[in-house]
Amino acid sequence: MKRLHIHIGVENIADSIKFYSALFDTQPVKIKHGYAKWMLDDPRINFAISTYAKNGVDHLGLQVDDKRELGLIRKRLKKAEMSPFDEGETLCCYAHSEKSWVTDPAGIAWEAYQTLKDIHYFSGIASSAEKASCQSQPKGQPGCCKDPSKAMGRCRL
């Protein structure tokens, strides 16, 4: 089963946690330095906020439960000639995931991914203050895109 993913960049994590917890009538399932995530069932959304992303909608996605579903999404994107970038396994957003990225006609980055396991740091390079982010990491570093020429979504110069 798929779950819509929304990642929003915020300036103040504490104020944003308070706001979204009231909006969703539930507390986040994960709170880390500069990051919080809600796994909602009604509506079925993986909603994340962080101070690591630009303010506003950073990217959208579809989270899948298994590799088969991820393969089906990748196949549909390729069949529609959307040129997805298969990032493969990556460490980002406190998770070890298998990801593919595509940009929609409006320029919004979408990821299709399967979370393999939780990790204890935001990106592939952990810092003691947890300030490392995929967005500020050079392309090609752990947790960011393997092919710098096709980087999109979370991995930027």
Where residue 11 sits, what CATH number does that domain have?
A: 3.10.180.10
Residue 18 lies in a domain: yes
Residue 122 banded pLDDT, cuts 50, 70, 90: low
Do the strands 3-9 and 44-50 form a parallel or antiparallel pair, or are they unpaired?
Answer: parallel
Determine the distance from the C-alpha atom of residue 75 to the mean position of all C-alpha atoms in its chain, rounded to a whole number. Answer: 20
Residue 128 lies in a domain: yes
Residue 11 lies in a domain: yes
The more confidently predicted of residues 61 and 120 is: 61
Non-local (6+) Cβ contacts of 21 within 8 A are: 27, 28, 38
Averaged pLDDT for residues 29-42: 94
Residue range 43-98, pLDDT digits in tens: 899 999 999 888 999 889 888 889 999 989 888 888 888 877 887 788 777 777 78
Residue 141 lies in a domain: yes
The more confidently predicted of residues 128 and 122 is: 122
> What is the number of structural domains in the chain?
1
Percentage with pLDDT > 90 across the chain: 34
Which of 51, 52, 44, 53 is CA-nearest to residue 5? 44
Enter the pTM of the model: 0.67
Residue 157 lies in a domain: no
Residue 126 lies in a domain: yes
For the cut 60, the answer to whether the pLDDT of residue 139 exceeds it is: no
Residue 156 lies in a domain: no
Q: Which residues constitute the domain of residue 73?
A: 3-150
Residue 129 lies in a domain: yes
